[in-house]
Structure 1
Amino acid sequence: IDLAIVAVAAKYCPPLMKDIRKAGARNAVIISGGFSETGKQGEILENELMNEAKEAGVRIIGPNCVGVSNSRLFNGTFTMLPERGNIALISQSGALGGMIIYTTRAKRIGMSKFASIGNAADVGMVELVRYLCDDPKTSVITMYVEGVDRGREFYQSLRDASAKKPVVVLKGGKSEVGARATKSHTGSFAGSSRIFKGVLRQAGCVTAPTLDTLFEVAKLFDYQPLPAGRNIGIISNTGGAGVLATDEASRHGLNIPHLSSDTCDELYNVLPPMAATDNPVDVVASGGRREYRVATELILQDPAIDMLLVICGVPTFAGMTQTEHAAGTLEGVRISETKKPVVGVWLAGDVGKPGKDLLEMNRIPCYDDPSVATLCMARLTEYAEMHRKI
């Protein structure tokens, strides 16, 4: 036996540690709640649990967690097993971690490992970050964190991990009221939000501002290479979406440079007369597979551009198919023979879904909103810049 999973009333957990060790296991996941997160009596019981575990030689994840899973091996939780992939998640909230797994399944984002640490009475963030740092099946580490102890060790584990692979962190308890809520949730103290953000940056990690963006940022790291700089090229077939994307890119500190005169001239010769041939490029609504292919190829080959955002409001007129703009984008990427990150925004809901799915199948992350796409590209750039300086 390698691992024992415990889901009994809290008061029965401490004496079980000796039995677990006698059965041959040195590791246990304590799903049971009712420990330090409940107050003083629970804290006393958690100390008793830890004393029994140490005496028996058993390491613990939990208590008050939903378990752990390895998408290539086993599911030791009471949530679904995620699809296989390369992104790992450590979560201080078990239920929230479970909901993230459901969301990744719906979005077809694969995960490698999942660990809900709950009260982290023994094995915590530090040990799990160190483990995932050396895990060959994990390319990106994501974390939901409410509060930490062992601050210096936590910082060093993040710094070591981020030097090898991206670490994306979502912080809970940033407000005064939210910080108070974390104490009753997992028994942890949230600490100063500003200090925590500074620690993450010094450690070379990036943050996700919302639950929805945590895995959207991670997906971009998993799918695409890092950019060489902050210069973004934008293609769209709807001027409004191009303007919104330009605003958001600028707000996140990305540059929207002019294209070279050669690139503009070539685009002018190929695109419809009404097209805008400087950055952001508007191929107009009549632009189809050919226009997307040529625009993608030329902009990626332009030396002023470090990364490309391709936007499509999928039209349903003139016999256009739902996937031709995506197909043209993929052809342009292949022909350009560059290693610059490419991101899509496919609008029009269900009408745009086939094109979006085609891009995702080819590991070009595709989003529903320019604001999310540019946020993710900004985080990609931030990580690249931090680690070029290290």
Structure 2
Amino acid sequence: MEKPRSSVVEQLRPLFRPRTVAVVGASRKPEKIGYQVVRNLMEGGFPRDRIFPINPYADEILGLKAYPSVKDVPEEVDLAVICVPARIVFDVVRDCGEKGVKAIAMITAGFGEVGNVEEERRLVELVRSYGMRLLGPNIVGVCDTVNRMNASFCQALPPPGDIAFITQSGALGIALVGWTIMERIGLSDLVSVGNKADVDDADLLEFFAHDPHTRAIALYIEGVKNGRRFFETARRVSKQKPIVALKAGRSERGAAAAASHTGALAGADRIYDAAFQQSGIIRAYTIDQLFDWCIALASQPPPRKRPVVIVTNGGGAGVMATDACADYGLALEDPPDDLKNVFRQYMPPFGSTRNPIDLTGMARRDEYYGAVLTALQHSWVGAVIVLYCHTAITTPREVADAILDAIRQAKVDKPVTVSFIGGAEADEASDYLRQNRVPCYPTPERAVAAMGALYRRAEYLGLLRD
């Protein structure tokens, strides 16, 4: 008989915020996953005295005392990371259950993904009989930047942040850790779901909906096992926090490839499209979009009015942004006359107040500050997109400071996205803006697309007023 189960949030807390971690299958051989997980836990910053390597043939691993069995650990174990051969998994799970382990992250493969469906069913039955939760099998592990826990074979933790990333592809998850470091994209957690034999996407959405460290949820999915439960959960969670999903397998061959390596039903893409819309999930089509949009959704309020104002110092950048507004359904209209009259104060006679507001290449810090502040404070404006092309007239950092000062001075709840176009200086200023919770992108189109995601969320929440 199964032990009674607490709420999903309580059940999964030991998985993502454990006080102690046992690595079952820890190894002294650097090429083994069991060695890499112990090393990564230590190098990631998880307390050394909270890590317990389990190996019956070793006294110590990487300077830590090793134990023959998880049952021999002298303290309570919140999380067991299992990386032993599949043939002994059942014995290890029984040991974990008898020890009182609360959650299992199972890296071991060889179950449902290779056709051993009955073995996987029995595994879940055994796990649940002890009141534990199982993530996996067939995962790369779990990364929690809140507690500096890298219980995976990803070599480094992602930068800390407020986006939870749930991925059905372990290899993609590993690759994207390096990418998030390079792009300076902060995550609260990275979760590889593997076969989703027990803990699934719906459980994870529920957990991160209540996680104070997470402001947006990014999903990479190829298919779901219980579509009704997943989309019902998503509909509820998306009212609290934004969810962006990159659904792969859109083509017929892509769907077949997804089914072959995950074992989950990929399904007709148009069905997913409709379900995403009904449940409030914002669908991305590229990795850039997935994270660009989460960054904006995690840091900016949803708009309340439709008119968008673009402020730029480059006509070409403004034209590209205008086309992108049409692509993403953003309302780009000429401002009312009173607003145009104020904008004229911040540009030479050959500037434009038609929207985009072209301050021209002569714009300095004060012109940017005045134009952005004017747009934010006017009641007609719903959102502002700021574009800056690096010129010799003013530095990217000066413009970044002008934008931040205008946002602080305006004291309004309106979203702002930014694009800085240029080289190393522009990139540094972009990073400075992101550190101050203003999403900044290297191209106008990406800044517009991120604003489009904010408007899609506002529409779903019913916030827009004409």
- Is this a same-fold pair by TM over 0.5? yes
Show CA shifts across 1:222-276 (max 9, x none).
1111101332110111101100001101111101111121221122233112211
Name the residue aligned to 2:184: 108
Show CA shifts across 1:40-66 (max 9, x none).
3x3343234334334444321101111
Q: Per the alignment, do residues 270 and 60 of structure 1 end up closer, same or farther by CA in structure 2, a change over 3 Å counting?
A: closer
Q: Does 1:370 align with 2:447?
A: no
Q: Per the alignment, do residues 53 and 357 of structure 1 end up closer, same or farther by CA in structure 2, a change over 3 Å counting?
A: closer
Name the residue aligned to 1:193: 269
Contact 1:15 1:52 in 2 (8 A): no
Q: How does 1:74-153 map to 2 (within 5 A)?
A: 74-79=149-154, 80-153=156-229
Name the residue aligned to 1:348: 422
Q: How does 1:135-284 map to 2 (within 5 A)?
A: 135-284=211-360
Cα distance in 2 for partners of 1:322, 1:217 equals 23
Q: Deviation of residue 125 (structure 1)?
A: 0.9
Gaps of at least 5 residues in structure 2 are 1-76
Contact 2:417 2:450 in 1 (8 A): no
Matched residue pairs, number? Answer: 386
Report the residue type matching 1:377 in the other structure: M
Superposition misfits of 4+ residues, deviation over 6 angstroms: none
Q: Per the alignment, do residues 276 and 122 of structure 1 end up closer, same or farther by CA in structure 2, a change over 3 Å counting?
A: same
Name the residue aligned to 1:337: 411
From 21, 29, 39, the counterpart of 2:97: 21
Q: Per the alignment, do residues 385 and 33 of structure 1 end up closer, same or farther by CA in structure 2, a change over 3 Å counting?
A: same
Show CA shifts across 1:286-333 (max 9, x none).
111011111111122232221111001111x25x33312222222222
Contact 1:17 1:56 in 2 (8 A): no
Cα distance in 2 for partners of 1:269, 1:22 equals 74
Q: Does 1:69 align with 2:143?
A: yes
* Matched residue SS, 1:339: coil
Gaps of at least 5 residues in structure 1 are none
Contact 1:14 1:48 in 2 (8 A): no
Q: Cα RMSD (Å) of the superposition?
A: 1.8
Q: Does 1:360 align with 2:414?
A: no
Q: Deviation of residue 172 (structure 1)?
A: 1.3
Per the normalisation by structure 2, the TM-score is: 0.79
Q: Deviation of residue 135 (structure 1)?
A: 1.6
Seq. identity, %:
36
* Matched residue SS, 2:161: strand
Name the residue aligned to 2:43: none
Per the normalisation by structure 1, the TM-score is: 0.94
Name the residue aligned to 2:10: none
Q: Deviation of residue 183 (structure 1)?
A: 1.9
